[in-house]
Structure 1
Amino acid sequence: MGIYRVGIDVGGTHTDAVLLDENNTVIAETKSPTTEDVATGIYNAMHKIIKDANVPRDQIKYAMLGTTHCTNAIVERKRLNKIAVVRIGAPATLAVKPLIGVPKDLREALGKHVYLVRGGHEFDGREITALDTDYLYKIANEIKGKVDSIAITSVFSPVSQTHEHKASEIFTEVLGDQVSISLSSEIGSVGLLERENATILNASVVNVAKTAADGFIKALKSEGIEANVFFGQNDGTLMSVDYAVKYPIFTVACGPTNSLRGASYLSNLSDAIVVDVGGTTSDVGVLVQSFPRESSLAVEIGGARTNFRMPDLISIGLGGGTIVRIQEDGQFTIGPDSVGYRLPEKGLVFGGDTLTTTDVAVALGKVKLGDASKVAHLNKEILNKVYDRMVEMVEEAIDKMKTSPAPVPVILVGGGSILLPDVLKGASAVIRPEHSGVANAIGSAISQVSGQIEKIYVLDEIGREQALESAKSQAMSEAIKAGADPDSLVVVDIEDIPLAYLPGNATRIRVKAAGELARSNKEQLA
Structure 2
Amino acid sequence: MIIGLDVGGTHTDAVLLSKQGLERQIKVPTDTSNLFETVLTGFNHLLEDIPIGKIKRVVISTTLTTNAIVQKELNTVGTIVSSGPGIDPEWYRTDENYHAVEGSIDHRGREREPLNHKQILAIAKSMKEKDITTLGVIGKFSVRNPAHELEIRDLLKDQFDTIFLGHHVSGNLNFPRRIATVHLNAAVYEMHRDFFHAVKNSLEQKGLQIPIQILKADGGTMNLESSMSFPGQTILSGPAASVMGSIAYAPGDMDAMVLDIGGTTTDIAILVDKVPLLEPLGIRRGKYKSLIRSLKTHSRGIGGDSHVRVDGNTLKIGPERLGPAMAFGGPAPTPTDALVFLKKMNSGDQQLAQKGMENIAQALGNTPEAAARAIFKQTCTMILDQARDLVHRINSKPVYTVHEFLAGYAIEPQKILLLGGPASYFAQEIETLSGISTEVVPASAVANAIGAALARTTCEITLLADTEQKKAMAPEEDFTAPISHKFTEEDAVETTHELLLKKALKSGADTEDMAVEIIEYQQFNIVRNFSPRGKIFKVKMQVKPGLIKAYEAVCHHCTINPDIEKGI
Contact 2:169 2:230 survives alignment (8 Å): yes
- Over 3 Å counting, the alpha-carbon distance change for 1:116 and 1:174 in structure 2 is closer
Hey, what's the Cα distance between the residues in 1 that align with 2:205 and 2:36?
A: 12
Hey, what's the Cα distance between the residues in 1 that align with 2:53 and 2:161?
A: 35
Mapping of residues 375-454 of structure 1, within 5 Å: 375=354, 378=367, 380=369, 383-402=372-391, 403=395, 404=410, 406-422=412-428, 423=431, 429-454=437-462
**Structure 2 spans left out of the alignment, 5+ residues:** 359-366, 396-409, 469-484, 529-533, 551-568
Mapping of residues 195-206 of structure 1, within 5 Å: 195-206=178-189
Mapping of residues 272-421 of structure 1, within 5 Å: 272-288=256-272, 292-296=276-280, 299-301=283-285, 303-325=287-309, 333-337=315-319, 339=321, 341-343=323-325, 346-347=326-327, 354-370=332-348, 375=354, 378=367, 380=369, 383-402=372-391, 403=395, 404=410, 406-421=412-427
Q: Return 418-427 or 33-42, whichever deviates more.
A: 418-427
Q: Does 1:194 align with 2:162?
A: no
Give the superposition deviation at 1:20.
1.9
Residue identity matched to 2:335: T
* Residue deviations 1:17-53 (CA, integer Å, cap 9, x gap): 12222x27222211111112322211222222122xx
Contact 2:492 2:537 survives alignment (8 Å): no
Instruction: Quote the sequence identity (%).
Output: 22
Q: 1:65 aligns with which of 42, 60, 69?
A: 60
Hey, what's the Cα distance between the residues in 1 that align with 2:189 and 2:500?
A: 23
Give the superposition deviation at 1:415.
1.0
Contact 1:64 1:232 survives alignment (8 Å): yes
Contact 1:448 1:517 survives alignment (8 Å): yes
Equivalent position of 2:43 in the other structure? 46
State TM-score, norm by structure 1.
0.76
Contact 1:235 1:311 survives alignment (8 Å): yes
Give the superposition deviation at 1:163.
2.6
Q: Aligned to 2:278, what secondary structure does the other structure show? A: coil
Hey, what's the Cα distance between the residues in 1 that align with 2:390 and 2:14?
A: 29
Q: Aligned to 1:211, what secondary structure does the other structure show? A: helix
- Over 3 Å counting, the alpha-carbon distance change for 1:353 and 1:50 in structure 2 is same
Give the superposition deviation at 1:486.
3.4
Q: 1:129 aligns with which of 108, 112, 120?
A: 112
Contact 1:493 1:513 survives alignment (8 Å): no
Q: Does 1:511 align with 2:541?
A: yes
Mapping of residues 90-239 of structure 1, within 5 Å: 90=84, 92=85, 95-97=88-90, 100-103=92-95, 107-108=96-97, 111=98, 114=99, 116-122=101-107, 125=108, 127=110, 129=112, 149-158=134-143, 160-163=144-147, 167-168=149-150, 171=153, 175=157, 180-188=162-170, 189-239=172-222
Equivalent position of 1:522 in the other structure? none
Give the superposition deviation at 1:251.
0.8
Give the superposition deviation at 1:390.
3.1
State TM-score, norm by structure 2.
0.71
Hey, what's the Cα distance between the residues in 2 that align with 1:203 and 1:351?
A: 35
Residue identity matched to 2:206: E
Equivalent position of 1:31 in the other structure? 27
Q: Return 137-146 or 41-50, whichever deviates more.
A: 137-146
Contact 1:119 1:163 survives alignment (8 Å): no
Contact 2:146 2:167 survives alignment (8 Å): no
Residue identity matched to 2:425: L
Give the superposition deviation at 1:414.
0.7
Contact 1:6 1:60 survives alignment (8 Å): yes
Q: Does 1:485 align with 2:510?
A: yes
Higher relative contact order (CA closer than 8 Å, sequence separation 6+): 2
Q: Aligned to 1:66, what secondary structure does the other structure show? A: strand
Hey, what's the Cα distance between the residues in 1 that align with 2:122 and 2:211?
A: 38
Hey, what's the Cα distance between the residues in 2 that align with 1:176 and 1:185?
A: 21
Equivalent position of 2:519 in the other structure? 494
Contact 2:136 2:182 survives alignment (8 Å): yes
- Over 3 Å counting, the alpha-carbon distance change for 1:471 and 1:24 in structure 2 is farther
Equivalent position of 2:3 in the other structure? 6
- Over 3 Å counting, the alpha-carbon distance change for 1:18 and 1:405 in structure 2 is closer
Contact 1:6 1:20 survives alignment (8 Å): yes
**Structure 1 spans left out of the alignment, 5+ residues:** 520-526
CA RMSD of aligned residues (A): 4.4
Contact 1:259 1:413 survives alignment (8 Å): yes
Hey, what's the Cα distance between the residues in 2 that align with 1:447 and 1:120?
A: 39
- Over 3 Å counting, the alpha-carbon distance change for 1:510 and 1:274 in structure 2 is farther
Residue identity matched to 1:412: L
Give the superposition deviation at 1:379.
5.5
Contact 1:87 1:115 survives alignment (8 Å): yes
Q: Return 42-51 or 404-413, whichever deviates more.
A: 404-413
